[in-house]
Amino acid sequence: MHVQGNEADAKIRAFTKKELHGFFAHCDDRAACIRALGRKRWLPAFRDPTLFKIGYGYGYGYGLRRNETRLLDAVDFGSNAAGHKFGEYGLCQVRFGKAKKVRRPSSTA
């Protein structure tokens, strides 16, 4: 049972994997174009597609919630001992995840 009601419009659907990959490719192309032009804003243009990919889980369903993505910081990224192919940044630690409901222990008489 959901704690809160859903306020989303029923006509709006989630992206398909193909649509997501197209969106990610467009964002990457735009960042590459800005960098190729030698503009100063290429770093934020690169940051945004990276956050989209983290938030959406790169289309594989393991993305983060909006608040979890919003609260990420540079210290949350590090190396992954099991994933050397990712280099210096192969790990993303979510420090501020979804809060869990705490169940009070039942009293035993």
Cβ partners under 8 Å of residue 68, min gap 6 = 94, 96, 97, 98
Residues 64-105 pLDDT 10s:
888 888 888 888 888 888 878 877 877 888 888 776 666 665
Q: How far apart are CA 16 and CA 22, in angstroms?
A: 10
User: CB–CB of 76/95 below 8 Å?
Assistant: yes
Q: What is the CA radius of gyration of the chain?
A: 19
Q: Quote the pTM value.
A: 0.65
